């Protein structure tokens, strides 16, 4: 288990470095991440490389008995590169040019940007690749963040048309696949095809937009693969990763495909950010951590762990004493085996001078420092014992990048729109997390996987699949076999009705799942944020976002709409169907988190999965270690809470050893 910190020695005087490393070691830290924004320092002029600053820093890191992860510095570009090649600037969907002075500005379709990247990464990898202190590399930094994996520049348009020609071969095939007979948009020359950017009213074809998202994903992955290949060549034996960020599906990039080229997954863990008045609910944070763990089905790294109030221009919630230590423990419990805190000391200047670190702008040791130091000491034995051990689970939630993209450009309901910042549309993320919350609040260890991932699904008693509108026949077939062999499948509204070209099938909802689910739906409405009453026996539930009126064929009714304001009061809302040796639940509405808890209580009980409700703020996990097994209780409330017969203080965690 490694505890480290993100360190920016270039922002401080060389006389600070040795003292800084000593302060880190006293806290219990043994590693640093360096250099992910240092291109302009390493190559101040084109072709003139200077690595002396980081040579000196790494020498001191080594003398301190610590290690380092180096970041390739391609998330920001030096001004000389923009001056020479102004065409490398990305252009947003709204037509805004991403100019020098910010970050994530460069177009992944730009030959000049790729050539410059190849030069700096090659020089850096040759210079540091076999350094004894360097144990690994972070490729780029938060790739795709701030909407940067969607570029509408002329260079992107050129490569998009090349990508389309490679995929479809002929315009006849492209016109057929996109349904261009609609509105008569029949392309007769590849150069007629635009990028689907800003528009006045009606949007571009869903088929075209989906292909554009696929293309942009491929562009980013190929750009990072360029760097990966270079670093692997000149830095053999060092592990490679890159750092993702909240929310999981903010980008349109296929992160599962990306990490097929890397050794492990990293994530930046900010349970609260900016002007939020309160943190994200703890099930959402756990859902994201399990998404990260599931991309490679292995433990992960937190490359930026919250250590102080964060924001670019506004600040909000201040975590009370104990909460940042609790968030650290939550990350370790969900499968993190390396934690790097962001950041060591808060920048006095620049765009992130409001992103507070372990220390503030000076060097006075803070309450944050002592809290994290204490937490590391308390959990270190436990963290070491479970490091690299499997996270056991009998329940899984499946997600799908094709559907995440689909719900960005066709969100279906105002309730599935959520844009916390202009470049983010994360309604799909919220729905996935809401489904996850049902099992998390019932304290059931739960995995989260891409639906297309090659995983033995038979190891799970229950699999849930929300918002699987765009289907893959191979996935549907695997799910069918899983249920036939005795598994329990829970699928959500609007499932199985769009093929990979974005054409809606002629079958009624749930399309490809009709036989499995034993139900059909011909009437439905989007209800946005309004709540609709649903009854499941004696339990009152609430639905929102979307409501389907279900017509069972072979299924039994589990819950009905009970809302007196709806003409479909008394009609089925949730059904269950026996299929082979297993069962398929079909949920025709988006349940609220509290309603999912009640619903999953029924599902888990029938599937013989142990669960227990300890209150909405109590999170419980079970971990297997080398020496012991563990029960972990976490109180995410600012008030004392009982977890069964255990009384937990505000933000307290309790780790109990269980003999094997």
Q: Is 77 annotated as a binding residue?
A: no
Query: What's the whole-number average pLDDT of the chain?
Result: 97
Work out the pLDDT band at 312, boundaries 50, 70, 90. Answer: very high
pLDDT of residue 509: 98
- Per-residue confidence (pLDDT) for residue 478, from 0 to 100: 97
Would the pLDDT of 421 be above 90?
no
CA nearest neighbour of 599 among 575, 617, 565: 575
CA distance 296 to 107: 28
Domain-embedded: residue 128: no
Residue 258 in domain: no
Q: Residues 436, 445, 653, CA angle at the centre, nearest 5°?
A: 100
Helix (H, G, I), strand (E, B) or coil at 216: helix
Residue 434 lies in a domain: yes
Place 420 in a pLDDT band, splitting at 50, 70 and 90. Answer: confident
**pLDDT at 276 exceeding the cut of 90:** yes
Q: Encode pLDDT of 245-268 as tens digits.
A: 989 999 999 999 999 999 999 999
**94 is known as an active-site residue:** no
Long-range contacts of 602-609 (CB under 8 A, 24+ apart): 602/536, 602/558, 603/462, 603/488, 603/490, 604/395, 604/439, 604/442, 604/444, 604/462, 606/488, 607/461, 607/462, 607/488, 608/461, 609/394, 609/395, 609/444, 609/461, 609/462
Q: Is 381 a catalytic residue?
A: no
Residue 421 in any domain: the answer is: yes
> Which residues lie closer than 8 Å to 570 by C-beta, 6 or more apart?
560, 561, 562
Is the predicted pLDDT of residue 358 greater than 90, yes or no? yes
> What is the helix (H) or strand (E) element at residue 123, kind and residue range?
helix 111-128
First CA to last CA across the chain, in angstroms?
21
142, 146, 520, 652: which one is catalytic?
142
Please determine, for residue 201, whether its predicted confidence score (pLDDT) is greater than 90: no
Q: Is the pLDDT of residue 223 over 90?
A: yes
| 334's tokens | 């969900």
How would you classify the pairing of strands 462-465 and 488-492?
parallel
Is the C-alpha dihedral spanning 585, 591, 596, 601 positive or negative?
negative
pLDDT of residue 71: 98
The torsion angle over the Cα atoms of residues 219, 222, 228 and 230, rounded to 10 degrees, is -110
Quick one: how many helices (H) and strands (E) in the chain?
A: 17, 24
389 and 1 in contact (C-beta within 8 Å)? no
Residues 492/543, Cβ–Cβ less than 8 Å:
no
Judged against a pLDDT cut of 90, whether residue 591 lies above it is answered with yes
Among residues 201, 224, 22, which one has the least CA distance to residue 121? 224
The answer to the question of residue 475 being in a domain is yes
- Give the strands of the sheet with 628-635, arranged side by side: 618-624, 628-635, 653-659
Buried b or exposed e, range 101-136, using 16+ CB within 10 angstroms: eebbbbbbbbebbbebbeebbbbbbeebbebebbbb
CA atoms within 13 A on the CB side of 231: 32
| Phi and psi angles of residue 604, each rounded to the nearest 5 degrees, phi first | -65, -40
Kindly give, in sequence order, each residue whose CB lies less than 8 Å from that of residue 150, ignoring residues fewer than 6 positions away. 92, 93, 213, 216, 252
Exactly one of 43, 146, 219, 304 is catalytic; name it. 304
Determine the average pLDDT of the residues in 431-449: 97
Residue 422, pLDDT above cutoff 90: no
For the stretch 152-172, pLDDT in tens is: 999 999 999 999 999 999 999
- Is 90 exceeded by the pLDDT of residue 221? yes
- For residue 114, say whether it is annotated as part of any ligand binding site: no
Which residue range forms the structural domain that includes residue 439?
395-606
Q: What is the pLDDT of residue 191?
A: 98
Span 189-200, pLDDT tens digits: 999 999 999 988
Q: Is the pLDDT of residue 638 over 90?
A: yes
Question: What are 117-138's pLDDT values in tens digits?
Answer: 999 999 999 999 999 999 999 9
Please indicate, yes or no, if residue 352 is contained in any of the structural domains: no
pLDDT digits (tens, 9 = 90+) for 521-566: 999 999 999 999 999 999 999 999 999 999 999 999 999 999 999 9
Q: What is the pLDDT of residues 331-341, one digit of tens each?
A: 999 999 999 99
The answer as to whether 302 is a domain residue is no
Q: Is 141 annotated as a binding residue?
A: yes
CATH number assigned to the domain comprising residue 577: 3.40.50.880
3-state secondary structure 613-646: CCCCCEEEEEEECCCEEEEEEEECCCCCEEECCE
Among the listed residues 516, 545, 633, 539, the one whose alpha carbon sits nearest the alpha carbon of residue 594 = 539
What single DSSP character describes residue 320? P
Helix locations, 254-395, DSSP H? 255-259, 282-296, 323-333, 367-386
The answer to whether 464 touches 398, Cβ cutoff 8 Å, is yes
What's the domain count of the chain? 1
């Amino acid at each position: 288990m490694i505890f480290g910190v993100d360190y920016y020695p270039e922002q401080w005087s060389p006389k600070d470095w040795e003292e800084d490393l000593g302060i880190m070691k006293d806290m219990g830290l043994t590693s640093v991440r360096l250099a992910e924004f240092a291109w302009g320092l390493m190559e101040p002029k084109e072709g003139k490389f200077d690595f002396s600053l980081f040579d000196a820093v790494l020498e001191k890191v080594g003398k301190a008995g610590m290690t380092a992860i180096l970041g390739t510095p391609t998330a920001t570009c030096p001004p000389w590169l923009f001056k020479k090649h102004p065409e490398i600037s990305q252009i947003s969907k709204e037509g805004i040019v991403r100019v020098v002075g910010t970050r994530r500005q460069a177009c992944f379709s730009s030959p000049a940007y790729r050539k410059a990247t190849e030069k700096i990464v090659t020089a850096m990898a040759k210079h540091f690749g076999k350094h004894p202190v360097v144990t690994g590399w972070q490729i780029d930094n938060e790739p795709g963040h701030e909407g940067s994996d969607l570029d509408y520049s002329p260079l992107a348009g050129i490569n998009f048309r090349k990508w389309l020609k490679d995929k479809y071969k002929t315009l006849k095939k492209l016109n057929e696949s996109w349904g261009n007979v609609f509105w008569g948009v029949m392309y007769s020359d590849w150069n007629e095809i635009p990028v689907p950017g800003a528009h006045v009213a009606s949007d571009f074809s869903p088929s075209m937009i989906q292909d554009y998202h696929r293309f942009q994903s491929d562009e980013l992955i190929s750009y990072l693969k360029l760097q990966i290949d270079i670093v692997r060549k000149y830095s053999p034996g060092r592990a490679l990763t890159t750092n993702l960020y909240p929310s999981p599906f903010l980008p349109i990039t296929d992160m599962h495909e990306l990490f097929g080229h890397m050794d492990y997954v990293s994530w930046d863990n900010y349970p609260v950010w900016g002007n939020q008045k309160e943190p994200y609910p703890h099930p959402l944070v756990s859902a994201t951590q399990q998404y990260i763990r599931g991309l490679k089905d292995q433990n992960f790294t937190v490359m930026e762990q919250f250590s102080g109030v964060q924001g670019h221009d506004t600040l909000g919630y201040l975590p009370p004493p104990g909460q940042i230590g609790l968030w650290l423990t939550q990350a370790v419990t969900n499968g993190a085996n390396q934690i790097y805190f962001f950041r060591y000391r808060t920048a006095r200047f620049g765009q992130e001078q409001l992103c507070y670190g372990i220390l503030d702008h000076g060097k006075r040791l803070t309450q944050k420092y002592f809290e994290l130091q204490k937490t590391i000491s308390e959990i270190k034995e436990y963290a070491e014992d479970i490091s690299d051990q499997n996270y056991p689970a009998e329940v899984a939630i499946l997600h799908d990048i094709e559907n995440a993209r689909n719900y960005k450009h066709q969100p279906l309901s105002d309730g599935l729109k959520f844009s916390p910042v202009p470049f983010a549309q994360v309604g799909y993320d919220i729905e996935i997390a809401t489904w996850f919350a049902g099992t998390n609040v019932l304290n059931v260890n739960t995995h989260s996987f891409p639906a297309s991932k090659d995983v033995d699904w038979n190891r799970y008693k229950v699999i849930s699949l929300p918002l699987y509108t765009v289907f893959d026949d191979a996935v549907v077939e695997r799910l069918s076999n899983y249920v036939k062999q005795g598994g329990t499948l829970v699928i959500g509204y609007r499932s199985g009705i769009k093929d990979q070209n974005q054409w809606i099938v002629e079958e009624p909802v749930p399309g490809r799942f009709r036989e499995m689910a034993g139900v059909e739906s011909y009437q439905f409405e989007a209800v946005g944020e309004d709540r609709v009453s649903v009854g499941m026996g004696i339990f009152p539930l609430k639905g929102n976002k979307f409501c389907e009126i279900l017509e069972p064929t072979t299924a039994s009714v589990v819950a009905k709409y009970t809302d007196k304001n709806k003409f479909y009061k008394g009609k089925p809302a949730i059904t269950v169907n026996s299929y082979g040796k297993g069962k398929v639940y079909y949920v025709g509405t988006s349940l609220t988190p509290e309603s999912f808890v009640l619903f999953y209580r029924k599902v888990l009980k029938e599937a013989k999965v142990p669960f227990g409700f300890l209150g909405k703020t109590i999170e419980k996990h079970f971990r297997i270690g080398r020496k012991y097994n563990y029960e972990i209780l976490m109180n995410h409330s600012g008030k004392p809470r009982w977890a069964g017969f255990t009384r937990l203080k505000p933000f307290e965690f309790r780790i109990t050893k269980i003999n094997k």
